[in-house]
Amino acid sequence: MKKAALEVFGAAVAAVDPYRAVKAHLRLRGDVLEVGLADASTTVALPKPGQGRVLVVGAGKGSAPMAQALEEILGERLSGGIICVKDGHGLPLEKIIVLEALHPVPDERSVEAGRRIAQLTRNAGENDLVIAALSGGGSALLTLPAEGVALEDIKTLTNQLLSSGADIGEINSLRKHLSQVKGGRLAAMAAPARVINLALSDVVGDRLDVIASGPCSSDPSTFAEAQEVLNRYGLANAAPKSVVEYLKSGVQGEVPDTPKPGDEAVESVVHAVVGSNRLALLAAAAHARSLGYNTLVLSSTLCGEAREVGKVLVSIAKEVRAHGDPAKPPLCLLAGGETTVTLRGAGLGGRNQEMALAMALELKGIDSICALSGGTDGSDGPTDAAGGVVDGETVVLGESRGFSAEQFLAENDSYHYLDGVGGLIRTGPTRTNVMDVQILLVR
């Protein structure tokens, strides 16, 4: 069953390959680009040769294969570009410069990438076309702090938010208001050039203003809302002083807010979400059916505390096993989204590994159920694992080796527990990112 679960996970990841996703959503017909799926596309005319340029900018874990597809589609019509990807996620490209930087906490290379991408975008003219290739991880990889806010303060705040249990929308509301390029500001820089925004969604609901912190999308959030996130998680006094002071200046109207809905510079952008969590789940369901399983997609919008969500998913699998509800076995239950972890200990792991360990505890001694939780990007937290796969023997095996699953979970040390019982999933960089996938097989 573990082997089958891993196969289903592989099918989910393959379905959201960024290269294929861009190819499916962007087609060159003579001097016109068709943006979107064939049955619902928007046309954008290319600049006439010698009168304008086609530039590519972007950031994220999946931006390199997206850029590779753009080079092939545009050919000689492409003038150049710059993207920034996570270390190890780069690809050799001909016209587009590939920079690498740290993720999930930005480093000096992220700032340099932000500076170079901003400069290229700012220099675009009214006859130019700028194509943004954005994917999960873009928030950290495209970093250009607001005036007066140091990178070290952004890093400190990011770590505080990741440890607090704040969700991606809350984190991004702060990122957008502490940046020169996020929250629609990149698109505003490009004006009056035309902009196409290709986004590989790593957020619940596929919101364009949240993916990579929405560099090319209007931002409905405000300085006051960003300030409230600090208050909500008890960071009003713990956050770096420059952050607190800059947000205060924004609330008082001393600093311009991000471009809002209706702003001409961002409302003219042509958008296409080229890949999503739901697409991955549908592909996973198709593969599970080929293995002889009935399938049920529960949700592509999971959120909440990882360990608690894991318990709920296992409870549904138990109901299937005992009573055949909400569907009869053999069944593959599928879910996806992005949960959070509130750090209580000093261990190593990520939200998928934490969920997997929590599910293992609920499955102890139960046969005929296997559970997997994995990040489609192949990287779960600050580890080399994508997630974990467990069953009724996982905790039993750990006990035979002197491991207490409860203690490891209390210390947020799911990585070392799962590593010790052979439960880690290691895929290496997948160069895509549409959040997480949960798979529960019930015989």
Q: pLDDT digits over 414-435, tens only?
A: 999 999 999 999 999 898 989 9
Q: How would you class 75 by CB atoms within 10 Å of its CB: exposed for 0-12, middle for 13-18, buried for 19 or more?
A: exposed
Compute the Cα dihedral for 201, 206, 212, 217 and give only its sign: positive
Phi, psi of 333 (to 5 degrees): -90, 135
Q: How far apart are CA 298 and CA 312, in angstroms?
A: 12
Residue 164: the pLDDT is 87
Q: How far apart are CA 259 and CA 47, in angstroms?
A: 26
Categorize the per-residue pLDDT at 360 as very low, low, confident or very high, splitting at 50, 70 and 90.
very high
User: What angle, rounded to 10 degrees, do the helices at 18-25 and 63-74 form?
Assistant: 40
Residue 358: the pLDDT is 98
Q: How far apart are CA 86 and CA 96, in angstroms?
A: 16
Q: How far apart are CA 175 and CA 212, in angstroms?
A: 10
pLDDT of residue 80 exceeding 80, the answer is yes
User: Structure tokens of 313?
Assistant: 């998913």
Taking every pair of Cα atoms in the chain, the longest distance, rounded to a whole number of angstroms, is 72
Residues linked to residue 271 through DSSP beta bridges, in sequence order: 197
pLDDT of residue 38 exceeding 90, the answer is no
Residues linked to residue 442 through DSSP beta bridges, in sequence order: 331, 369
SS3 state of residue 411: coil
Phi, psi of 255 (to 5 degrees): -125, 135
What's the whole-number mean pLDDT along residues 103-128?
Answer: 95
**Residue 338: which of 366, 300, 311 has the closest Cα?**
300
Q: Considering the chain, what percentage of its residues have pLDDT values greater than 70?
A: 100
Q: Name the pTM for this structure.
A: 0.84
Q: How far apart are CA 70 and CA 95, in angstroms?
A: 10
pLDDT of residue 58 exceeding 90, the answer is yes
**Residue 390: which of 284, 311, 319 has the closest Cα?**
311
Q: How far apart are CA 157 and CA 331, in angstroms?
A: 43
| Mean of pLDDT over the chain | 95
**Residue 51: which of 26, 31, 70, 28 has the closest Cα?**
31
